[in-house]
Structures are given as structure tokens and as C-alpha cells.
Amino acid sequence: MEKSMMPADYLCHKEHLWVRPLGDNLILVGVSQYAQNSLGEIVYVDCPNPPTEIKQDVSFGVIESVKVVSDLISPISGTVLEFNEQLMADPCCINRDPYGEGWLLKVRLPDDHALSGLMSASDYEKYVSGSDI
């Protein structure tokens, strides 16, 4: 079930969550292909409802697979505007399409500098080539 690599315009956090800039300090947050492969079949996701403030490097929710329950560690700080409601009925959409329909949150960033410190897609691919979660 291997998909293509992370899209080049995405950024990634060391805790295997991606960020897709949408413009106007809005982003989508999701789980990387590497993470969903490691987790296995995802059966449940718990994320905050809007408008919740999340902080970079702090847990904002959990993701549960048939193998494990893991904290979701925020790649950025900002205000949650939307939770992907599709995940309530179909959490496996993360497994099928982690970079598309399987997104977790839409977030408003406090400023343009909120994305500093994240890895480029190519740097992330190098990072996971020698990493485990």
C-alpha cells in the first residue's frame, strides 16, 4: 500500500506530522505516509474542536491503530479552525490518502514565522530513512 513521497510543498515535523501551507497563515496538518505505515490500520483519531489553541511540540490529540495508541505532537502553534469530520466515520482515509483526504486539522498560524524549524519534504524523506517512531 505504498504511496508516493510527500508532496514537495509540504513541510514536516520530527514527530511525523506534515503541514501544507494554504496561504493567509492557514495550513492543513496531517500524518505522514511513514507514520501511517508504521502505525498500521488506523481505527480512531481524537483531535481538538475549534477554536482550540495548539502549541508546537505539545500533544493535541491521539491516533489509535490496531497496533498502538500514539499521541499527536503538534508541528506548529496556532488556532484550530476545523477538524476533518470525515475521520470520525472513516479514520482509515489516513491510510488510503495521508496527504489528501486524510488531513487532520485546519489551523490559523499566528504569523509568517510559525513554520520555521520544520523540515522540507526532501529533508524529511532523508530523516525517516534512518528513523523509527
* pLDDT for 5: 80
Q: Is residue 4 domain-resident? A: no
Number of domains in the chain: 1
Q: Is residue 68 domain-resident? A: yes
Q: Is residue 28 domain-resident? A: yes
Could you tell me if 65 and 42 are in contact, meaning their C-beta atoms sit under 8 angstroms apart? yes
Query: Which CA distances in Å does 121 have to 9, 44, 49?
Result: 7, 26, 28
Which pLDDT tens digit goes with each residue over 88-128?
999 999 999 999 999 999 999 998 788 988 999 999 999 99
The rounded distance, in Å, linking the Cα atoms of 82 and 104 is 9
Structural domain boundaries, residue 106: 11-110
Q: Is residue 122 domain-resident? A: no
Question: Pairing relation of β-strands 69-73 and 59-65?
Answer: antiparallel
Q: Is residue 130 domain-resident? A: no
Name the 3-class secondary structure at 126: helix
**Between these two residues, 25 and 111, which has the higher pLDDT value?**
25
Q: Is residue 124 domain-resident? A: no
The gap between the terminal CA atoms of the chain, to the nearest Å, is 19
Q: For the residues 3-21, what does the mean pLDDT come to?
A: 90
Q: Is residue 46 domain-resident? A: yes
Per the prediction, the chain carries an average pLDDT of: 92
Q: List the beta bridge partners of residue 18.
A: 12, 30
Q: Is residue 133 domain-resident? A: no
Which pLDDT tens digit goes with each residue over 63-76?
999 999 999 999 99
The CATH number of residue 34's host domain is: 2.40.50.100
